[in-house]
Structure 1
Amino acid sequence: MRTLTIEPLTQSAFAPFGDVIESAGRDFFMINNGSTRRYHRLSKVETAAAEDEVLISIFRAQALPRPLPIAMLERHPLGSQAFMPLHGKPFLIVVAPIGEEPQPGQIHAFISNGRQGVNYRRGVWHHPVLSIAPEDDFLVIDRAGAGNNCDEHFFPEDQRVLLSLVDRGI
């Protein structure tokens, strides 16, 4: 079984899969009579149809046992999906490129610094939210509307890759 190397979450490394949502290094302008910095358009919510709705939710995630064999990935073909940590805790991101089905050799793992979120592009394969903390909350922005917006792919046991945090000291 191949073990994933966890990469730092940067805009350039994550660009093929979506956007990193963070203020560090981003342009801003002042609003509210100069008392607030607005980091504008850090990401764009993608939907497939004009009649779709954009939802804002909070997900409360529990940490999964580690090392974690990546047994499945999901994708949302009709809209992007954004996750922003609410308590400043790092979390893991596991992704694979857009395609008919994810390929084990193309899976990437990233770690957020706890002040970064992600917006998965439409159709990007990803693991459901992966909390490192025993419990963590995430602001989630995604699409609602007609049609199936969640495809799941389950890997045969011999194609699973292993997500381990030992090399990250976690």
Structure 2
Amino acid sequence: PNLNLAVQPLTQDAFAEFGTVVENPVSATGRSQQPKVVKANQGSALKYIDVSHVTDYYYLAPSGNPARAVMNMFVCSPRRLQSNSSSSDITQERTSKFPVQILERHPFTPQTFVPLGLAAEDATTAYLVIVAPTCKAMDQPLLYPQHVPKRQRSWTEIFFRAQPSSVDNSTLSSSESSPEPQLPKGPGEPDLTRARAFLANGSQAVTYGPGTWHAPMVVLGAKAIDFVVVQYSNDVGLEDCQEVEIRTETGSDGLNVVIDS
């Protein structure tokens, strides 16, 4: 391929096809729907309901191995960028590029990245969220259902959904709506022609929807970022993670994210 991606701010509306942006809705931009909110902790806190879904779809996996919830930490160092300026004209705006060489997906689980210790106003460090839609695979067997089958609710869910009391967890508004869980994307390869690149700051966590093609984490700037990562896993390699290599042919620049210097 010979594709250059411009970077855009990470907002929920722009990212909705690929997953969820987890952030304080009060200060968030680009969010047409607000999550449900209730008062909590004796009125000293606001609780936003279901800001992101972590749903186990491993019952669809061929092996039948059950999954468990896992929480890992990734310490991600800043990536080295390549110069994207072919001119020596000092008046020309200088840009850099990040070559995307691998995309991966987790077919049966969402994956949430939560940055630690990075301030929203820190202009020296940020991270890229690079994603691509899934191509339709009409000649391959459909591994995923078109709808989520109903299941009996657990006691935990029943109590969690209980009506809020008049003292605590009182509903502030009935106009909000929480996002529905995303279904797995299916068995197709990534559609590189519709790939997107988003720039995130320290006030934002991100959930990749199940089966969403994405690049391994790309940190930009001066320092590493510690991420807590939450997902499901059944320890079967190809059911936990699948990768594709993006090869650069002769005369092609490949897939690159263009970044203003």
TM-score over 0.5 for the alignment?
yes
What's the offset of the Cα at 1:37? 2.1
SS of residue in 2 equivalent to 1:12: helix
- When structure 1 is superposed on structure 2, of 146-155 and 12-21 the one drifting more is 146-155
CA distance in 2, matches of 1:28, 1:131: 32
Q: Answer yes or no: is 1:64 the counterpart of 2:79.
A: yes
Which ranges in structure 1 are unaligned for 5 or more consecutive residues? none
**Partner residue in 1 for 2:104:** 74
Query: Which residue in the other structure is 1:157 paired with?
Result: 248
Give, in angstroms, the shift of residue 98 of structure 1.
2.6
Q: Find the residue that maps to 2:193 and give its secondary structure.
A: helix
Rounded to whole Å, the distance in 1 between the matches of 2:226 and 2:235 is 27
With 153-162 and 6-15 compared, the bigger mean Cα shift is at: 153-162
CA distance in 1, matches of 2:134, 2:192: 13
Map 1:19-38 → 2, pairs under 5 A: 19-25=20-26, 26=34, 27-38=36-47
Question: Where do 1:67-106 residues align within 5 Å?
Answer: 67-88=97-118, 90-99=126-135, 100-106=188-194
* 1:111 aligns to 2:199 (yes or no): yes
Q: Would you say 1:8 and 2:2 are equivalent positions?
A: no
Based on CA coordinates, which of the two structures has the bigger radius of gyration? 2
For the 8 Å contact 2:104–2:214, the answer to whether it is kept is: yes
Q: Tell me if structure 2 keeps the 8 A contact 1:46–1:121.
A: no
TM-score (norm 1): 0.89
For these two proteins, the number of residue pairs brought into alignment is 167
Q: So what's the TM-score if we normalise by structure 2?
A: 0.60
Conserved 8 A contact 2:246-2:255: no
Give the secondary structure class of the aligned counterpart of 1:164: strand
Distance 2:43 2:99 in 1: 49
Partner of 1:135: 224
Task: Give the fraction of aligned pairs with identical amino acids, expressed as a percent.
Answer: 31
1:23-54 C-alpha deviation (Å, 9 max, x unpaired): 22444222221222222210000221364211
Runs of 4+ in structure 1 deviating by more than 4 angstroms, as ranges, are none
Instruction: Tell me the alpha carbon deviations over residues 105-152 of structure 1, each in whole angstroms, 9 at most, x when there is no partner.
Output: 111000113211111111110001111243111121111115321100
The 1:71/1:49 distance shift into structure 2, 3 A limit, reads closer
CA contact (8 A) 2:70 2:232 kept: yes
> What displacement does 1:2 show?
2.4
- The runs of 5 or more residues in structure 2 that have no matched partner are 27-33, 60-65, 82-96, 120-125, 136-187
Confirm or deny: 8 A CA contact 1:72 1:152 kept in the other structure: yes
| 1:8, distance to aligned residue in structure 2 (A) | 1.0
State the partner residue of 1:18.
19
Q: Is the 8 A contact 1:81 1:120 kept in 2?
A: yes
| Higher fraction of strand | 1
- State how far apart, in whole Å, the 2-side matches of 1:49 and 1:98 are: 19
Relative contact order (C-alpha < 8 Å, sep 6+): which is higher?
Answer: 2
Residues in 2 aligned to 1:80 and 1:43: alpha-carbon distance in whole angstroms: 10
Query: Which amino acid letter does the alignment assign opposite residue 204 of structure 2?
Result: Q
Task: Tell me, in whole angstroms, the C-alpha distance in 2 between the residues paired with 1:141 and 1:119.
Answer: 9
